[in-house]
Amino acid sequence: MDKYVIKGGNRLEGEVTISGAKNAAVALLPAVILADSTCIIENVPDISDVHLITDILLEMGATVKYLDKNTVEIDPREIDTNVVPYELAKRMRGSYYLIGALLGRTSSAAVPLPGGCDFGVRPIDQHLKGFTALGCEWTLEDGMIKVSADELKGANIYMDVVTVGATMNIILAAVKAKGRTVIENAAREPHIVDLANLLNTMGANISGAGTDVIKIRGVEALHGVTYSIIPDQIEAGTYMVAAAATGGDVTINNVTPKHLESISAKLEEMGVEIIEGDDSVRVVRKNPLIKCNVKTMPHPGFPTDMQPQITALLAIANGTSMVSESVWDDRFKYVNELKRMGAQITVDGKIAVVEGVNSLKGAPVKAVDLRAGVAMVIAGLVADGTTSIEDINHVERGYEDIVNKLVKLGADIHLNKSSESKAEKIG
């Protein structure tokens, strides 16, 4: 089993460049199947979730060619099926975006129930509510969601809860529907704006992305484009927290500082200096960390995808902090792993009370999901002694070249590949 092995105690210094946004890429790549010609998508993160999406498109008949490791050319014209391959799609959460994209392309889709991180129930009821409003019927058969319509027609859709996935999926389905669709109580995350910008560049008519009311007027056809994905705010936030945890001085390049405001605000509250540039942020910590309370909220609030990382940071802050999770159920599974390292954290439902300790101790731990895994990396960077992290496939889903990026900043971390992995690589 592959592991990260970290010797803690090194201060992070220098510069790191952020990759394209994982949460945008897993929706933008399915979106290209709506085009009637070739698309080139740039700033694609080199991560396993992206490779799964491109493998799915390839198996469905698309021509997929990597021009370099962060640029992919996709010609969707030869896709001749509305059925998404089961074994590939069940391994990732973002496979559900293929439902909306296929509905927009052919008015029908058959997609496996999504996989991905396991932290509580993540229903797609709001997705299905939106598809139904557009004129679809759906069934669940043999682990496949089958959705179809004689004709997609625009509708007014009110989201019962703010949900990023459903907002993006309904946009994908509605861009070629007859008439106008209005999504109320829509999510406002940057990657929703990125999806709308891509589709508008392809010829769609979408307004209001980034607000809670999105209006879509259906068009007859979408054309191929060249488009660059936005920087990953969660990857950027992760390196910001890592710099703060190690008492470091790190400049994080290729970011949109406005997307990071909620993260910057909490770090500043903890006594960390944040210096914004046009497309960079510099994170400097010279003094002990101060306790603070954090509540995750939909954008522009503090991101749920940064909750494990900030909790790892609060574990070494002076005083008692409280972390409230308002987006997902059961997202504190990783706390037991932090406690193995000496963290003092008590969880009650959706609230974690964090008693800061003077230091963490290296230990064998595991990544229970994507963001929890990188929280273990942050903990390992500051812990006394050696930390080994198993199940790192979760981390590889969302962080491009994380080991080398941290090594260049001065971390003592390496990937310890199992004999099985080495054999596969040699073979």
329-352 pLDDT, tens digit per residue, is: 888 999 999 999 999 999 999 999
Confidence band, pLDDT 50/70/90 cuts, at residue 119: very low
Q: How far does CA 405 lie from the centroid of its chain?
A: 18
Q: Do 201 and 267 lie in a common domain?
A: no
Confidence band, pLDDT 50/70/90 cuts, at residue 427: very low
Q: Do 337 and 218 lie in a common domain?
A: no
Alpha carbons 353 and 338: distance in angstroms, whole number: 13
Contact yes or no for 38/75 (Cβ under 8 A): yes
Sheet strands (E) in 36-112: 39-42, 63-68, 71-75, 108-112
Domain boundary pick from 228, 250, 278: 228
423 CB-near residues (< 8 Å, 6+ apart) = none
Backbone φ and ψ for 108, nearest 5 degrees, come out as -155, 150
Q: Do 79 and 168 lie in a common domain?
A: yes
Confidence band, pLDDT 50/70/90 cuts, at residue 420: low
* pLDDT for res 143: 84
CA-based radius of gyration for the chain: 21
Q: Do 318 and 172 lie in a common domain?
A: no
Confidence band, pLDDT 50/70/90 cuts, at residue 94: confident
Confidence band, pLDDT 50/70/90 cuts, at residue 116: very low
* pLDDT for res 1: 86
Q: Could you list the residue range(s) of the whole structural domain that residue 9 is in?
A: 3-19+231-426
Confidence band, pLDDT 50/70/90 cuts, at residue 123: confident
In the beta sheet, which residues pair with residue 108? 148
Q: What is the mean pLDDT of residues 412-422?
A: 79
Q: Do 183 and 246 lie in a common domain?
A: no
Contact yes or no for 289/263 (Cβ under 8 A): no
Q: Do 222 and 243 lie in a common domain?
A: no
Alpha carbons 40 and 74: distance in angstroms, whole number: 6
- Biggest alpha carbon distance in the chain? 63
229-259 pLDDT, tens digit each: 999 999 999 999 999 999 999 999 999 999 9
Q: Do 89 and 58 lie in a common domain?
A: yes
Report, as residue numbers or ranges, the catalytic residues. 117
Give the tokens for residue 162.
């703010």
Give the tokens for residue 159.
């989201």
Contact yes or no for 85/160 (Cβ under 8 A): no
Q: Do 42 and 143 lie in a common domain?
A: yes
* pLDDT for res 424: 40
Query: What is the tally of structural domains in the chain?
Result: 2
Q: Do 57 and 121 lie in a common domain?
A: yes
* pLDDT for res 43: 98
Confidence band, pLDDT 50/70/90 cuts, at residue 113: confident
Q: Do 11 and 87 lie in a common domain?
A: no
283-308 pLDDT, tens digit each: 999 999 999 999 999 999 999 999 99
3-state class percentages of the chain: helix first, strand second, coil last, to nearest 5: 35, 30, 35
Q: How many CB atoms lie within 10 A of CB 37?
A: 14
For residue 165, the domain's CATH number is 3.65.10.10
Q: Do 27 and 139 lie in a common domain?
A: yes
Contact yes or no for 122/330 (Cβ under 8 A): no
Long-range interactions of 356-361: CB distance < 8 A, separation 24+ = 356/289, 356/291, 356/314, 356/315, 356/316, 356/317, 356/318, 356/319, 356/320, 356/321, 357/315, 357/316, 358/316, 359/316, 359/383, 359/384, 360/8, 360/315, 360/316, 360/384, 361/385
* pLDDT for res 115: 59
Q: What is the mean pLDDT of residues 46-66?
A: 96
* pLDDT for res 305: 96
* pLDDT for res 117: 43
Q: How many CB atoms lie within 10 A of CB 420?
A: 10
Q: Do 270 and 208 lie in a common domain?
A: no
